[in-house]
Amino acid sequence: MQVPGVPPEDLPAELPDAKSVLLDVRENDEWAAGHAPGALHIPMNEVPQRLDELPEADQVYVVCRSGGRSARVTAYLNANGWDAVNVERGMNGWAATGRPVVSDEPGAEPMVL
């Protein structure tokens, strides 16, 4: 099955916004090291139990490190009535295009694990 995808450079400049959410499905340590500002964090294996945490949005952009896990979550969300799109190349691509990355670790330089 073909999963809809978008390269990070084609994403809206301001994410999330009133009509979209950026869902990060990486593990807790990956998230803590560096993530997109304003993203929602739900690790991939917790998504089915935590669907009620996804806000009402016209578009759900799903991101992981390189695009594999997020493609699986995108397919799952689309099969369950969401309008989800995989962020191609993941946070690696996000950071490589100069998009902002923040860390939960005080004083630590944000990085993509």
Catalytic residue, candidates 11, 47, 64, 112 = 64
64 counts as catalytic: yes
Spatial contact of 62 and 21, defined as CB atoms under 8 Å apart = no
Measured between alpha carbons, how far apart are the two ends of the chain, in Å? 28
**Residues with catalytic roles:** 64
